Amino acid sequence: MTALGSNFYFPPSRLNYLVQLRSLLTQNKIVALEGGMGFGKTVLLEEVLTTAMPDANKCYVTASKNITDVQLRSRIIEQLFGNVLFDPEKPLVSSFLEFNQQTELMVAIDNAHYMSAKLVGELLQVFSQINGAGIQFSIVLSFDKSISATLLNINSQLIAVESIPRLSKDESYHLLNTYFSELPAITDSKLKRWIENSKGVPIQLLAYNDQNNLELVNSGGLNIKLWGQLSRSQVYFLPLGFMPTMWVILTQLQTLQSNILVRRMMSLWR
């Protein structure tokens, strides 16, 4: 495992995936990261946004089914161009052409499966016109095709859809070993079964509990958001100089799950 600058460890397959994404950005492609719940879309998206195009004006927004096109346009324009007067009812290209001053731009949109086809079309138009004017402009999206296949169905050479790879068995063990201080050896039969049943999905792996029979719970019983909060809590405890075991944190989170601070905690592996 290799450490990145954020006190978080990425498996080799994810590092290679990031290299691939950055390469596509240099080829004037809109890059779309595809993966299901718990694959780590958000953390990969954030890593690309942080490390690529260091001199660009950047924007990061999260789409949701409750956010309208007008609201998304507003957030994109405000983050890129600051406090400017614009009409969020108009297509994005109008504001981009009006306010951009020959500056490199980068837009990252998480949960892009909630974007309307109209807004996706506007992004394609902006991307084509801004890059056609000789200005470097990159767009990175993350989406779950099980929620919406809009990005998969767009017939455009400008969009490169890249599926997030599942972790190998060795990478799965190393990830668990990062979070659990007393993890059995990789040859342990119960642990091997847990890793096999998790199928390389980080959020499933981090639901590990050495007190049970190491069988995955069904999707209805697994609180994905809670496990995401759990993994984020581990990162918060690291600077304090100790690493509490996962079941202790889980007990605390279950007690505080209704607390607003816990509910607002960002999931690291969503």
- Checking if the pLDDT of 111 tops 50, the result is yes
0.85 surpassed by pTM: no
Which CATH number describes the domain made up of 2-163? 3.40.50.300
pLDDT at 254: 44
| Strand 105-110, strand 57-62: pairing | parallel
- Choice between 101 and 46, residue whose per-residue pLDDT is larger: 46
Compute the distance between CA of residue 39 and CA of residue 249 in angstroms, rounded to an integer.
Answer: 22
Percentage above 70 pLDDT, the chain: 74
What per-residue string of b and e applies to 221-241 under the rule 16 or more CB within 10 Å gives b? ebebbbbbbbbebbeeeeeee
pLDDT at 8: 62
- Checking if the pLDDT of 77 tops 50, the result is yes
Domain ranges in the chain are 2-163, 169-264
How many Cβ atoms from other residues are within 10 Å of residue 123's Cβ?
23
Q: Are 245 and 180 in contact (CB under 8 A)?
A: yes
pLDDT at 180: 85
- Choice between 237 and 113, residue whose per-residue pLDDT is larger: 113
Compute the distance between CA of residue 62 and CA of residue 141 in angstroms, rounded to an integer.
Answer: 10
Q: Give all strands of the β-sheet with 57-62 in edge-to-edge order.
A: 57-62, 105-110, 137-143, 30-34, 159-163
pLDDT at 235: 39
